[in-house]
Amino acid sequence: MPINTQTYETVFEQYSTAMRWMEGLGIQLNPGRTSHYEKIVGHWKDAYRTATADEGRQIFPDFVSSMFEIFDFVSIHKAFEGVPAHQLTSVVEKLQKGVNGPINAADETSNSTAARNFLFEAAVAAKAHRPDKGIEAILNASSDTGIGLNGKKIWVECKRVTTVDKMEKNVRKASSQLETVLAGEVGSGHRGIVALDVSKILNRGDQIFVTRNNDELLASVDRMMDRFINERSHVWERVLREKA
């Protein structure tokens, strides 16, 4: 399967469009990481042609964080740009909180995860929203987000797990939250999902994974995730068995 590629110019344009859309929804983009990303990518779309190796090393941490995170904002914009603003209240609230936080992901601490946590919730909703395929995000969900599919409702609790030793605590908390949500729903057409983001465990945010070609990259990433699941799945499986 080929990996879609885009020019820096295209990425910059998509991100800038997403930022203007967010401003149109009333989101305050104060000087911070979103404007920093726009500045970094805006500079690099032209500078990469003539940049020296030393300049590349100097911009590397900022560049990695920028390119890693702007696609969440772009995907949220693409998913919801056609939805009337009055239906996006919960998404707007998540984005308003999500634009804050440390500029570089590598600088995030246990006390500064809130912004990216909210952004993850909005990104999960965007990933699920495929109305052309009969799948829609539930934008007024009582859980972090929800998915409407074939007359059923799937309630989703999202957790970003930054260290392996916090995984069980996060899964247990999400499961308890889902129990509360499901207890308030009537009928059999309700399910729950715990969505975990483990990217911080695999890469703290200051590295680029390099391979020789697309096929090798995809295979390596698959192996990495398979290995992680094989090593850690007993944690969430144990919690879910207890809840069954």
Per-residue pLDDT tens over the stretch 88-139? 999 999 999 999 999 888 888 888 999 999 999 999 999 999 999 999 999 9
Give 191-216 as a DSSP string: EEEEEEE-HHHH--SS-----SSHHH
75-96: pLDDT as tens digits: 999 999 999 999 999 999 999 9
User: In this model, does residue 215 exceed pLDDT 70?
Assistant: yes
Place of tokens 């799948």: 135
Does the pTM surpass 0.95? The reply is: no
Check if the beta carbon of residue 100 is closer than 8 Å to that of residue 237: no
Give the amino acid at 224: M
Edge-to-edge strands, sheet with 135-137: 135-137, 145-149, 152-160, 190-197
Q: What is the percent of the chain where pLDDT is above 90? A: 62
Query: What distance in Å separates the CA atoms of residue 129 and residue 107, rounded to the nearest whole number?
Result: 31
Q: How many CA atoms lie within 13 A of 21 on its CB side?
A: 23
pLDDT: which is higher, 149 or 46: 149
Q: pLDDT tens digit string along 21-50?
A: 999 999 999 888 899 999 888 888 887 777
Look at residue 187 and tell me whether its pLDDT is greater than 90: no
- Pairing between strand 135-137 and 190-197? unpaired
Instruction: Answer yes or no: is pLDDT of 1 > 60.
Output: no
Q: Is 112 helix (H, G, I), strand (E, B) or coil?
A: coil
Task: State the pLDDT at residue 236.
Answer: 93
Residue 156, SS3? strand
